[in-house]
Structure 1
Amino acid sequence: MLPLAKPGFGLCLLILAGSCTINRETLTTAADESSKPAAKPAAAAQAQKDAWLFQQVAGSVLKFRDGQEYDTRLLQPAYIGQIANGRQAPYLIFAGRYCNQCDANPGLYIHSPANGTLAVANGQNRYARPGTEHYYADYSPIYRARAFYGQVLDNTKGVIWYQQHRQADNSWRKSVFLVALTPGGQRDTTLADQGQLATTLKLLKQGQCREIEGSDYPSEP
């Protein structure tokens, strides 16, 4: 096998007794192009992240850098954080109340603006907020939870709740609720508590996830 001629030497490769003419300018241009670094996917991801850098809340609207915004259609919304969603708008994590003159508690919401507007009327798509929920009549605790977002388990990004529900006999039942988030997909799963909290706390210490601040609140009548 004959070695390929190197660009810039003006050599001509003979093929089956034929000949070709090498254009030095074309070869030089091709060599220059091949030496350029390929576009890095990380750069595109960073640009997407920068475009959705949170700025402020204005009414029911979350406003971001470069003019991006999302109308939550909630009362007193609060921005919590976000999780990357490939090349699409990220999954936004926010809290708010869906009605004004009602006894509904604020809830957590997870949504990517790439999927349009999230339905929030009458408590649709609302998740429990972390902390301790107290029975409204006597203020005894009936629900406890810690919640985290980011990489919450090995190879899993999303939002996770470590929760306890008080039973009729006053015992507490533990469970784990996970909203797994992947580019273009969101899946809700209830898991048996098998000590996953240790993994999440390890990832929290490594800066891979964050804990959502909890609070005490009464149950809804």
Structure 2
Amino acid sequence: MAGGGDSNEMNPFISYVDLFASIIMVLLLFILIMFVNVGYYIQFNTKNKTENKEEKTKQEEVTPELKKEENKEKTIQYFVQNENNNTTPVQGGEVEGNVLIKKSEQFAQAEFKEQELVIAFKNNEYFLNKEITTQVTDFMENTLKKNPNALFYISVNDSQKLISSTQTKQVSLGRILSLKNALEKVPSLQNKIKLSYKQAESLNYEFGHLKIDVK
């Protein structure tokens, strides 16, 4: 009877097997959650890197003409003090005093019309090639032989082929300064070149022109 009574008593302690099983289940659940989070993080980073790489590739696939325009926009802005003490921005060259120093190998397509005393441009570049500069120099030197006191006033007419008004003004100012700079390299023309920042009379040249007046 005593033995039977002892066998029916309840054990108040959890068995070691059940305790270890519970701990192992909790650890497995924790490891599973950790692996899910790590997998999601790796997948997210890989997706971001792929998108960034594709975006960079698209940016590099820019046409040469567009790259050229971007480089012009990134050119450092310089400033020139004009005769009215108004400061005007110039791109594509370096300013020293009241002249523009060439920093680009791009030449303008242009024609010097001596009868009209006009340099007509055929594109939107600034700098005239040596042939045009020589023609203008010869004309001025011949004029000075006849009239040593002559002064040459250069004015500019804007190109009609540029959408941005700011860029249009920069191109015009760059042209007039670059021509003055080139001409004043000739000793006989030093202090003989004057610039007029007012618009020259329109002569229907789509890419603009430079007008030379002798006084």
Higher relative contact order (CA 8 A, sep 6+): 2
TM-score (norm 1): 0.28
User: Which protein shows a greater Rg?
Assistant: 2
Question: If each structure's helix is expressed as a fraction of its own residues, which one has the higher value?
Answer: 2
TM-score (norm 2): 0.28
Question: If each structure's strand is expressed as a fraction of its own residues, which one has the higher value?
Answer: 1
